[in-house]
Amino acid sequence: MNSPAAFSYLDHNATTPVREVAVAAMAEVLAETGNPSSVHRAGRAARHRLEAARRSVARAIGLAETGTLVFTSGGTEANLLALAGSGRNRILCSAIEHDSVRHGVAGTVEIAVEPDGTVDLETLAALLTADRAPALVSVMAANNETGVIQPIADIVRLAHAAGALVHCDAVQAIGKIGFDMAALGTDLVSVSAHKVGGPPGVGALALAPGVSVTARQRGGGQERGLRAGTENLPGIAGFAAAIGAAVSELATYRELAVLRDAMEVRLQAIEPSARLFGVNVSRLPNTSCVALPGVSSEIQVMALDLAGIGVSAGAACSSGKVRPSHVLEAMGAGPELARSAIRISLGRDTEAAEIDRLVDAWGALALRRRGKRGAA
């Protein structure tokens, strides 16, 4: 990894370095030859690895033993398989979902969120009773931009009472907070490898017992006919190793909140007009979303990059496009505030020195802005 003395990578919600255990697991599989669908010995060995990995991932997310885990090319594909494959025509998703959910299928109905970033349960209840058509409710476990944790158990209770299924995009939550699919009662759960220290290019959709989906990608009948294509076996092995490690380290991961909270206190002290999002509700321990009014997100990201610090303006996929964050707008932040926010996301190896560099560089930006204001 890059020496922390030279760079501060604080964009772990976009992607995080692959864990050594995952690299080792991948290296082992990459050294072997075999298509998991082949019947010969090499193929059976590959199949054995595939099924072992499937059990590990299922265990890590609390999928019931009789449930189904379908490996996909990532969280985006898992989300689409859930939404388009569920058979439900009426889809209610929160206003702060990832674009792959919001724009995954046509005609989704948005559920508003409270100013604190959590789903408005009264609105959800009203939407559920407004139409008798069986619905699919899709709400993420934790938001990728603000880290705000959603009341999934409450959502499941409301949805199930109305005969709706619940899909939960747990891409950002898994490995950062405890997540038990069976205990929460969610019907479909999306996960991604590269957010937990596995490689990009792998994800999964978990289906609770009795829940099924219609395949989108058709062909050789892999993944019990739910997702065709030769499985990305090395990536899947890396995913299993990484998610296992991430889940076992949750207690220490939680400590990141101390570092994060101290950072936020310092940022706020430097610039009292700075706005921190989601601070009064449960949040992922590693995520901070902060607006510096009067300085656009892009300027902040660029200035911090020049100082050797990697952060982002919202989700990584929409980086490069200058658009205010739909998440912050849904929380009631005006477009100007939403355009001046950055996401700082820590990783399990983030050190205090990296935070110091961020605070210094961000502080310089805030001072420069004040200087300009003073001059004007």
User: Which residues within the stretch 219-258 sit at the binding site for other proteins (CB under 8 A)?
Assistant: 219-222, 228-235, 238
Instruction: Give CA separation, 224 vs 52, 73, 258, in Å.
Output: 16, 16, 44
Q: Out of 240, 310, 331, 369, which residue is the one contacting other proteins (CB under 8 A)? A: 310
Counting Cβ atoms within 10 Å, is residue 157 exposed (0-12), middle (13-18) or buried (19+)?
Answer: middle
Closest to 10 measured CA to CA, from 363, 360, 364, 354? 354
Task: State which of positions 91-130 bind other proteins (CB under 8 A).
Answer: 98-101, 103-104
Asked about 317 being catalytic, the answer comes back as yes
Minimum gap (Å) between residue 284 Cβ and other proteins? 17
Binding to other proteins by residue 351, rule CB under 8 A? no
Told to check if 201 binds other proteins by CB under 8 A, we report: yes
Cα 81 from Cα 171, distance rounded (Å): 14
| 296 is a site residue for other proteins (CB under 8 A) | no
| Binding residue for other proteins, selected from 52, 183, 265, 317, defined by CB under 8 A | 317
Binding flag, residue 131, other proteins (CB under 8 A): no
**Tokens read off for 207:** 């289906």
**Quick one: which of 55, 132, 218, 224 contacts other proteins (CB under 8 A)?**
218
Using the rule CB under 8 A, is 199 a contact of other proteins? yes
Q: Among 59, 216, 266, 275, which residue interacts with other proteins (rule: CB under 8 A)?
A: 216
- As a residue count, the chain comes to 376
Q: Which of 21, 30, 276, 359 binds other proteins (CB under 8 A)?
A: 30
Exactly one of 4, 43, 151, 185 binds other proteins (CB under 8 A); that residue is 43
Asked if 117 and 282 count as a contact pair (C-beta separation under 8 A), the reply is no
Least distance in angstroms from the C-beta of 151 to other proteins: 25
22 binds other proteins (CB under 8 A): yes
Which one of 7, 121, 211, 329 is in contact with other proteins (CB under 8 A)? 7
5 binds other proteins (CB under 8 A): no
Choices 6-14, 253-261, 271-279, 353-361; region in contact with other proteins by CB under 8 A: 6-14
Q: Burial, 12: exposed, middle or buried (Cβ in 10 Å; 0-12, 13-18, 19+)?
A: buried
Element housing 189 (H / E): strand 188-192
**CA angle in degrees (0–180, nearest 5) for 164-104-143:** 75
- CB neighbours of residue 32 within 10 Å: 13
| Nearer Cβ to other proteins (94/118) | 94
Shortest Å, Cβ 313 to other proteins: 6
CB-count exposure of residue 91 (10 Å: 0-12, 13-18, 19+): buried
The residues annotated as belonging to the active site are 317
